[in-house]
Amino acid sequence: MDHYGMELDPGPPRDFADLKTLVMARSGSLPRRLAQIASFALDNPDEIAFGTAASIATRAGVQPSTLVRLSQALGYQGFSDLQQVFRSRLKDRVLNYDERLKHLRAHAAAGSRAGGILEGFLSSAERSLAEARHTIEPEKLDDAVALLAGAETIYLVGLRRSFPIAAYMGYALGKLGVRNTLVDGLAGLAIEQIGFAGARDAIIAISFAPYASETAALAEAARDRQAKIVSITDSAFSPIAPLADLWFEVAEANYEGFRSMSATLSLAMTLCVAIGEQRGER
């Protein structure tokens, strides 16, 4: 308040987490183009932090003026004002890894090409793990483990790139004595497999952009049957995020267009072992 007792306008968010909360709260009321660039911004924070208005607009498929309109709609003076929020969060951490990758590419010709590729993938995995340390909340992990450990059967849904994660979880949970079903869609029977889920069961749904539409459909079918849902995905705009009781955001870095799965697998291993441990205590 000021000295007249009037509420002062706190201004737009200066913290990325607060900005993300604001965007999610406003996403349903934003015009289509603004919602499109807002989704792109949350999915590609490093591009927003270090790109130009022209390059960002080209990648997002909008006009540069749309960036200004979004910034002003969120309360910022202009795009550069909004961009500072992304830079303050990512600059120190991201540049270190980007510089490593640039050096790897520059020196790849001098040594083993395969060795250079390996170093690139290892660096992208390090970047993914560093990001996961900042985005995965221990309290949310505890809540998810309690939800999943209390389920009669855990159904695992992950297709295409996400299938190896779901398959590993099926293996690990089985070894830990936790009843689970891997929904693999063999013979086109995925919807029948998920049809056995009920109110005493839980679903772990995994999907990353470009999202597998069948994963979202299976998660929605499970929700209709009152099963609890824990989602692992890469954006608040993912179709499986709003369906979930709890969801984890895992943004994997990429090397030459290939995305790592190191952070996702680490989260999957954590959930499996923690569920097994909690079941054992019971």
CA distance 237 to 205: 15
Q: Which amino acid is at 226?
A: Q
What proportions of the chain, in percent to the nearest 5, are helix, strand and coil? 60, 10, 30
Q: What's the average model confidence in pLDDT over 268-279?
A: 94
For the segment 218-224, the average pLDDT, to the nearest whole number, is 93
Check for a shared fold between 16-84 and 138-281: no
Between residues 162 and 42, the one the model is more confident about:
162
| Residue 154 or 36, more confident | 154
The mean-pLDDT minimum among 8-12, 113-117, 256-260 falls in 8-12
- Beta bridge partner(s), residue 230: 204, 246
| 188: region left, alpha or beta (phi > 0 left; psi from -120 to 50 alpha) | left
Give percent of the chain with pLDDT exceeding 90: 36
**In this predicted model, which residue has the larger pLDDT, 187 or 72?**
72
User: Which of the four CATH numbers 1.20.1270.10, 3.40.50.720, 3.50.50.60, 1.10.10.10 does domain 16-84 have?
Assistant: 1.10.10.10
pLDDT (0 to 100) of residue 77: 87
Running DSSP on this structure, what letter comes out for residue 150?
Answer: T
DSSP type of residue 8: P
- State yes or no: pLDDT of 207 exceeds 50: yes
- Cα-Cα end-to-end distance for the chain: 52
Q: What is the 8-class DSSP label of residue 177? A: T
pLDDT value at position 158?
93
31-35 mean pLDDT: 88
Delimit the domains of the chain by residue range. 16-84, 93-135, 138-281
* Confidence label for 274 from pLDDT (cuts 50, 70 and 90): very high
Strands, E, within the chain: which ranges?
154-158, 180-183, 202-206, 228-233, 246-249, 254-255, 258-259
- pLDDT given at position 235: 80
- Which of 94, 120, 127, 128 has the alpha carbon at shortest distance from 265? 128
pLDDT at 10: 66
| Dist CA 95 CA 72 (whole Å) | 28
Q: Which of 140, 14, 154 is nearest to 85 (CA)?
A: 14
What superfamily in CATH does domain 138-281 come from? Glucose-6-phosphate isomerase like protein; domain 1 (3.40.50.10490)
Confidence at residue 194, expressed as pLDDT on a 0 to 100 scale = 92
pLDDT tops 70 at residue 90: no
Residues linked to residue 233 through DSSP beta bridges, in sequence order: 249
Identify the residue with better confidence: 173 or 121: 173
Dump the DSSP string for 218-261. HHHHHHHTT-EEEEEES-TTSTTSTT-SEEEE----EETTEEP-
Q: Is-cis flag, bond preceding 138, omega within 30?
A: no
Question: Is residue 2's pLDDT more than 50?
Answer: no
Least confident of 87-96, 162-171, 193-202, 273-282: 87-96
pLDDT for res 258: 80
Q: Higher model confidence: residue 46 or residue 231?
A: 231
Two tokens, residue 60: 């997002």
Mean pLDDT value across residues 229-244? 88
pLDDT of residue 97: 52
Is residue 172 within 8 Å of residue 277, measured between CB atoms? no
